[in-house]
């Protein structure tokens, strides 16, 4: 177990290093000159040279790369080109909004998806199953940004309290938290509910066909007990695995939702920073999101090996 | 599906059926099953309409007299500068700059179909190459390739795609199209590659591959003659399900302004650029939104039908549509 953990940790570090190197390389070949971003369009050549020197951009690429890695190892993500604030500070300000957004949506999609999946699996071919199948197909076919736009359109005129005026900047823990977050949550969760309903239904049907479920039935257990105690427990394993990964990935995929609903989270931060050529912020957020993804994968793998004795720890 | 077992029963040599046994290729069988699927035919019809719409784009521009990139501030915008709704001059309304929504939507259909199909082709080639290589080679090659695919699947693709698209500040329409296709393919091929890898992994231990090997066939020949033909069914199924994903991906990138560049319209960029005036100009949301939904829904339905038709066993339980479930746990 320890060896397995160490190997997974090393792999996680390797992935983070690869991602940071890739982002560093990518932004170095970017045709947007950094000194222009800082100096503005009317800066003189001397000013531009001075800026390049201050940022160390006149040094060889490898020296820059080494400095980048060294600061990274110390948790220093540098300063924003645009307003000279520490990147860690900028991210820390925006992170709560994104975390709340993802967590709220995650609860909705997990509960909703599993519920629909179990109900339609236990009533396969019935009217409820058919309705669920239509819902799943529509859900999987609706691009999240279209769903968000439709929600915003419907509710911003029809229901004042849920309307756009609540989607203002600021930490979401303040007043009107629920009103402000409910539409973004639904918008973000809609497609995922469909995906999880499909996943749960399939997993559940597979498990309910297993021999031990027949045994449980033969023992005379109630259908309810068979479904939930014996069936659902086993059927949830792949769902939970997927859930862990999706929560990690979603941390970096809230850009659209945040943009449509005007939430000032990490997604908006990176979107605006890209538009302004604010490289340190882009690198910082990308690394943060990669960190979440790697962490989620690690947790899922470890949990999986603990839950399922069949998984070899080699 | 009783029809399938009927077909099988017919195919049994020496069967006592009144008709002589006819040889039917797997694709003929698939087509016969597909033809009986009413939902699939409906989806196919809807897609045919979308294709027709896309093909007719220049025609629509000629008939209405509104090229897709020309603004009509006088006729397309009212006195307050708001776009005019559907009417005689603009059949599906004008957009926020006074351009014809109908014509732009038709050109947008071209972009969606083009990017969807092109990205799927690239992703399929990449997925087959990497999947087969990883599965057949095994060992270190497999470990590296499999891990690589895991990483591309785990990356927050939207974020990376935006960074990529904005790094290469491409302003030409053709260049932005190509970049969009490459970005989408890069983030989609692994889903296929991973499944194919698993199939090849189990296939290379099968007797027929072993037989080929013992007859002296080299790895390339085995991959081409023995492995690839057996992968046709899953590849067709996975590819048909990749198309709607790619279309959604493209529209999302264009919505964020990092996909297909203006003035070329895309359903995604139409939704993005018009989003400020949706409250008064609902057609700017409805037209591209409905087209997008109908297209992806039809492709998804079609993909499911293709899977049912080509490979009746594949993930039947996991993803079967209503009415086609064979087992439901009671059996």
Q: How does pLDDT run across B178-237, given as a tens digit for each residue?
A: 888 998 999 889 989 988 998 898 888 888 988 998 998 888 888 888 888 888 888 988
pLDDT of the residue at A311: 56
CA–CA gap between residue B231 and residue B224 (Å, rounded): 11
Three-class DSSP category at B77: strand
Look at B255 and A256 and tell me if their CB atoms are within 8 Å.
yes
Least confident range of B224-238, B256-270, B317-331: B317-331
CA–CA gap between residue B312 and residue B314 (Å, rounded): 6
Q: What is the helix (H) or strand (E) element at residue B226, kind and residue range?
A: none
CA–CA gap between residue B90 and residue B100 (Å, rounded): 6
Q: With the CA atoms of B302, B304, B308 and B312 taken in that order, what torsion angle do they form, in degrees rounded to the nearest 10?
A: 150
Q: With the CA atoms of B84, B86, B90 and B93 taken in that order, what torsion angle do they form, in degrees rounded to the nearest 10?
A: 60
Tell me if A303 sits within 8 A of A311, measured CB to CB: no
CA–CA gap between residue B319 and residue B233 (Å, rounded): 17
Provide the shortest C-alpha distance from residue A138 to chain B (in Å). Answer: 7
B13: pLDDT strictly greater than 70: no
CA–CA gap between residue B190 and residue A170 (Å, rounded): 38
Tell me if B136 sits within 8 A of B223, measured CB to CB: yes
List, as one string, the DSSP characters of B295-313.
Answer: HHHHHHHHHHHHHHHH-TT
Look at B158 and A252 and tell me if their CB atoms are within 8 Å.
yes
Locate the chain B residue with the closest alpha carbon to A194.
Answer: B319
On chain B, the residues whose CB falls within 8 A of the CB of A26 are 163-164, 167
Locate the chain B residue with the closest alpha carbon to A18.
Answer: B151
**CA nearest to B287, candidates B271, B299, B272, B303:** B271
Which residues have a Cβ under 8 Å from the Cβ of B183 and sit 6 or more positions away?
Answer: B161, B164, B165, B253
**CA nearest to A56, candidates A70, A44, A45, A68:** A68
Q: Which of B322, B326, B327, B331 to mutate to test the interface with A (most CBs of A within 10 A)?
A: B322
pLDDT of the residue at A165: 46
* Candidate from B271, B285, B317 with C-beta closest to A205: B317
Tell me if B296 sits within 8 A of A92, measured CB to CB: no
On chain A, the residues whose CB falls within 8 A of the CB of B256 are 255-256, 259, 271
Please, what is the average pLDDT of chain B?
82
Burial class (CB in 10 A: 0-12, 13-18, 19+), B254: buried
On chain A, the residues whose CB falls within 8 A of the CB of B317 are 202, 205-206, 209
For residue B77, the cross-strand partners are B83
Least confident range of A222-226, B34-38, B191-195: B34-38
Q: How many residues belong to chain A?
A: 314
Provide the shortest C-alpha distance from residue B242 to chain A (in Å). Answer: 12
pLDDT tens, position by position, B219-232: 888 888 888 888 88
Partner B contacted by A116 (CB < 8 A): no
Provide the shortest C-alpha distance from residue A142 to chain B (in Å). Answer: 6
Tell me if A240 sits within 8 A of A230, measured CB to CB: no
B319: pLDDT strictly greater than 50: no
How much is the pTM? 0.82
Provide the shortest C-alpha distance from residue A242 to chain B (in Å). Answer: 11
B12: pLDDT strictly greater than 70: no
Look at B317 and A202 and tell me if their CB atoms are within 8 Å.
yes
pLDDT tens, position by position, B108-126: 999 999 999 999 999 999 9
Tokens representing residue A74 in the block: 């110390």
Partner B contacted by A294 (CB < 8 A): yes
For residue A296, the cross-strand partners are none
**Where does the pLDDT of residue A172 fall: very low under 50, low under 70, confident under 90, or very high at 90 and above?**
very low
DSSP code for A79: B
Which residues have a Cβ under 8 Å from the Cβ of B302 and sit 6 or more positions away?
Answer: B40, B43, B44, B47, B240
Partner B contacted by A93 (CB < 8 A): no
pLDDT of the residue at B44: 92
Tell me if A281 sits within 8 A of A268, measured CB to CB: no
CA–CA gap between residue A304 and residue A236 (Å, rounded): 11
Least confident range of A125-139, A191-205, A242-256, B6-20: B6-20
Tell me if B103 sits within 8 A of B66, measured CB to CB: yes
Q: What angle do CA B126, B129, B133 make, to 5 degrees?
A: 140
Phi-psi label, residue A40: left if phi above 0, alpha if psi -120 to 50, beta otherwise: left
> What does each C-alpha distance from B20 to B12, B15, B24, B27, B274 come to in angstroms?
11, 9, 12, 20, 63
For residue A79, the cross-strand partners are A86
The percent of residues in chain A predicted with pLDDT above 90, rounded, is 17
Average pLDDT of the residues in A168-182:
63
Look at A249 and B160 and tell me if their CB atoms are within 8 Å.
no
């Amino acid at each position: 177990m320890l060896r397995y953990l160490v190997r997974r940790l090393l792999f996680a570090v390797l992935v983070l290093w690869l991602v940071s190197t890739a982002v560093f390389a990518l932004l170095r070949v970017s045709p947007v000159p950094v000194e222009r971003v800082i100096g503005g369009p009317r800066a003189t050549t001397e000013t531009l040279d001075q800026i390049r020197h201050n940022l160390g951009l006149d040094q060889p690429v490898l020296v820059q790369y080494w400095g980048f890695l060294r600061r990274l190892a110390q948790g220093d993500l540098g300063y924003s080109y645009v307003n000279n604030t520490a990147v860690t500070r900028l991210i820390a300000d925006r992170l709560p909004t994104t975390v709340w957004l993802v967590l709220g949506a995650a609860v909705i999609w997990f509960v909703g998806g599993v519920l629909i999946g179990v109900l339609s699996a236990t009533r396969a071919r019935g009217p409820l199953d058919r309705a669920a199948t239509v819902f799943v197909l529509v859900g999987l076919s609706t691009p999240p940004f279209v769903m968000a736009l439709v929600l915003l359109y419907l509710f911003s005129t029809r229901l004042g309290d849920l309307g756009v005026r609540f989607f203002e900047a600021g930490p979401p823990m303040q007043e009107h938290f629920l009103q402000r977050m409910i539409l973004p949550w639904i918008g973000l969760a809609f497609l995922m509910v469909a995906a999880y309903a499909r996943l749960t239904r399939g997993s559940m049907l597979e498990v309910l066909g297993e021999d031990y479920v027949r045994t449980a039935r033969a023992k005379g257990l109630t259908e309810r007990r068979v479904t939930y105690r014996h069936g659902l427990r086993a059927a949830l394993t792949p769902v939970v695995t997927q859930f862990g990964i999706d929560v990690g990935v979603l941390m970096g995929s809230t850009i659209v939702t945040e943009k449509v609903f005007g939430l000032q989270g990490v997604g908006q931060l990176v979107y605006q920073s890209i538009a302004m050529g604010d490289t340190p912020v882009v690198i910082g957020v990308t690394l943060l999101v990669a960190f979440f993804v790697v962490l989620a994968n690690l947790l899922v793998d470890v949990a999986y090996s603990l839950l399922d004795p069949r998984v070899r720890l080699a | 599906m009783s029809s399938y077992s009927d077909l099988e029963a017919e195919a049994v040599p020496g069967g006592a059926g009144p008709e002589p046994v006819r040889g039917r290729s797997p694709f003929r069988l698939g087509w016969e099953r597909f033809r009986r699927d009413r939902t699939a035919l409906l989806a196919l019809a809807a897609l045919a309409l979308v294709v027709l719409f896309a093909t007719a784009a220049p025609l629509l521009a000629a008939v209405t007299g509104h090229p897709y990139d020309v603004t009509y501030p006088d006729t397309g915008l009212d006195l307050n500068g708001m776009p005019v709704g559907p009417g005689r001059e603009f059949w599906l309304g004008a957009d926020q700059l006074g351009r014809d929504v109908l014509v732009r939507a038709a050109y947008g259909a071209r972009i969606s179909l083009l990017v969807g199909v092109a990205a799927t082709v690239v992703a399929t080639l990449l997925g087959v190459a990497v999947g087969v290589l990883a599965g057949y080679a095994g060992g270190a090659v497999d470990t590296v390739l499999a891990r690589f695919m895991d990483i591309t699947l785990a990356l927050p693709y939207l974020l990376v795609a935006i960074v990529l698209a904005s790094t290469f500040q491409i302003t030409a329409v053709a260049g932005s199209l190509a970049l969009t296709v490459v970005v989408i393919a890069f983030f989609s091929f692994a889903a296929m590659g991973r499944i194919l890898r698993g199939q090849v992994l189990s296939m290379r231990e099968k007797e027929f591959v072993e037989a080929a090997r013992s007859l002296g066939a080299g790895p390339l020949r085995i991959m081409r003659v023995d492995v690839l033909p057996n992968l046709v069914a899953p590849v067709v199924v996975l590819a048909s399900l990749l198309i709607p994903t790619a279309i959604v991906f493209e529209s999302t990138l264009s919505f964020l302004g990092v996909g297909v560049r203006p003035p070329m319209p895309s359903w995604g960029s139409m939704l993005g650029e018009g989003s400020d005036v949706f409250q008064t100009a609902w057609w700017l949301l409805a037209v591209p939104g409905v087209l997008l939904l109908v297209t992806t829904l039809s492709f998804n339905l079609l993909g499911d039908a293709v899977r049912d038709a080509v490979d009746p066993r594949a993930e039947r339980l996991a993803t079967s549509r209503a009415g086609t479930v064979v087992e439901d746990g009671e059996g």
